[in-house]
Structure 1
């Protein structure tokens, strides 16, 4: 029996804002969408064009306040072919949350406060 990873889900408060952030910060783009006629929710799948893994953004129409992420003890990780350029870009965007110089990695936060790890090539 073999399993393959397909996607990770996060709930977002403002779908358009989140989609723009993921496009601008990490180059992710919409690869699928589920939007029932009721309008109760929208699910958008984002991809990177090079791996099969997707990020699923779920927006709930009846949600009236931002999500409480608690201790937020999880994150998604991304590698980049231009670590220094990515770090400069994310600093300019104002989304860098933490830089771990000893490990040579850093974290950014999305509009909902989720942490995203950025690693140099060959790490992960």
Structure 2
């Protein structure tokens, strides 16, 4: 249930409160991931936040075009990306921290070839 007090209340099928998620922006819309382990919440005017099923913040994105243009949020069927839309659509990755770090290390691979000592400074990229 989306509240007007910057909260999202998660209820079970009987209507009992499971968890309350406190946001920094007024929630407009939300979507559950296909595996029901993540919740994407679109906040007004310019925030997309991704939460774990236990209520932990996993990621937060600032939508460059703020305002009321974006009204909808939806996970891709494979759960790997999140679409935020209205008149336009923006796509955001839905990755764990480990997946994001691995992606960053892949992007830096050419740099590490030239500067191998820099790779040694980043244990996550070993």
Query: Which is bigger in relative contact order (C-alpha 8 A, separation at least 6)?
Result: 1
Q: More strand by proportion, 1 or 2? A: 2
| Structure with max Cα Rg | 2
TM class by smaller structure: under 0.3
| TM-score computed with the length of structure 1 as normaliser | 0.24
| TM-score computed with the length of structure 2 as normaliser | 0.24
